[in-house]
Amino acid sequence: MALAADTPKDSFRLSMLIYDTRFRAITIQVIVLILVLLGIGWLVNNTIENLAAKDKDINFSFLFSRAGYDIDQQLIPYTNDSTHGRALVIGLLNTLVVAFFACIFATLIGVFAGVLRLSKNWLVGRLMTVYVEVFRNVPLLLWILLAFVIFSETMPEPKDFKTTQAMVDAGTTPAAQMILFDSVAITNRGTNIPAPLLERPLGGTEAFGVPINFSVLATLLVIAGSIWVNYLVRRRAKAVQEDTGIRPVTWWKSLLILIAPTLALLIAMGFHLEVPAFPMGENGVSKGFNFVGGINVAHSFTALLIALSLYHGTYIAEAVRSGILAISRGQTEAAYALGLRPGRTMSLIILPQALRVIIPPLISQFLNITKNTTLGVAISYLDLKGTLGGITLNQTGRELECMLLMMLIYLILSLLISSGMNVYNTAVKLKER
């Protein structure tokens, strides 16, 4: 019996790039890529030609020239004799600091408000609704300006904290008093807080012009190690619970692991706080015109932090509320049937499942917080926008270079935040067994 031969394969023809579905998608993608590259090339060439017509070029050497301006808040040493590159680093650190704390506070406020907005207590639920609707429907810039004006115009002057000879004679106290056990003073010039000091620091070094403090590095390493060991202890407790049905008591172990190593290191280095105060003269009379010691936190930082936290906390609150409502009511009823209280039900059952709904919009809010720090320029907060995109740009006239650097830095920051949160999102998502 004769067998049918295999169908001969057609040889490749150029027309197959268009008419053959196996190659058409690749052809379209290649054409689009070529068009995009041609567009970018035309844009770059046009930019270079326009700059050349104005006797300009693309040059980043200005980063190594003297900055010539001061920055109030700085995490690493800086003077007006430092370079514009150093000013860029200072501005970037200021951006990271306010964004980091704003993300933490906004998350805490958002979770708190989101849960309470679903409270069965009518007054509590309405209060959270008012907070959400008021703060998210007013532009963020206005909240920043309002917070800055409140701190700058309503707080007492430093002289109001002084003790004069007349007060000593009359037995009266100053018009303004420090708070938190006489350790914090809020004035119209800033907030004076205690400064952490070490009697026996571990020293430090410098790399690429950036100082590295071994004491801070050792403390961070100890904290990271404590968190990791605590994670291992909790994971083992969970494994024991899955095997036996009984969860070992771990709260005291976690407390000891997280606190004891760091506390021991700080004691070994002679950690203590330097409280801000007026120099004291004879008979308890204050001298000078301002506080000495401690750290002066600028109101621009405080106002920006408060406004970012409260404003973005409303959006996180709505994300939390929607995540909780996405969980079936039967989950709560089953928990109540097992004897769990509402608080434990929320923390152990509802919120862990709601995270898969909460985290994606939470990532967007973290990105928005980081980018909205640029609004601090309205109250003279010198972050990356205020330094590189503000004073440095105006002094050097290198608009294109400054804008390109800013765009690249914010792009990298956004990608890092998004990648980190996506890793966490993958870790908490529901897994099939």
CATH number attached to the domain at 84-163+297-428:
1.10.3720.10
pLDDT greater at residue 379 or residue 433: 379
pLDDT confidence of residue 1: 47
**pLDDT class of 141 with cuts at 50, 70, 90:** very high
pLDDT greater at residue 90 or residue 282: 90
Q: Is the pLDDT of residue 3 over 70?
A: no
| Average pLDDT over every residue of 240-256 | 86
pLDDT confidence of residue 330: 86
| Average pLDDT over every residue of 365-376 | 94
| Average pLDDT over every residue of 38-56 | 85
pLDDT confidence of residue 376: 93
**pLDDT class of 349 with cuts at 50, 70, 90:** confident
Give the chain's mean pLDDT: 88
The pLDDT tens digits for 182-210 are 889 999 889 999 999 999 998 888 876 67
The pLDDT tens digits for 106-127 are 999 999 999 899 888 899 999 9
The pLDDT tens digits for 69-84 are 999 888 888 888 999 9
**pLDDT class of 104 with cuts at 50, 70, 90:** very high
Q: How buried is 158 (Cβ within 10 angstroms: 0-12 exposed, 13-18 middle, 19+ buried)?
A: buried
- For the chain, give the percent of residues with pLDDT over 70: 96
Contact 401, 64 (CB under 8 A): no
What is the CA angle 115-118-120, rounded to 5?
A: 120
pLDDT confidence of residue 419: 92
Q: How far is CA 238 from CA 191, 243, 250, 257, 428, in A?
A: 44, 9, 10, 17, 15
The pLDDT tens digits for 282-301 are 777 878 788 888 899 999 99
| Average pLDDT over every residue of 372-377 | 94
What whole-number distance in Å separates Cα of residue 378 and Cα of residue 249?
51
Q: Output the six-digit token pair for 46.
A: 């046009």
pLDDT confidence of residue 219: 93
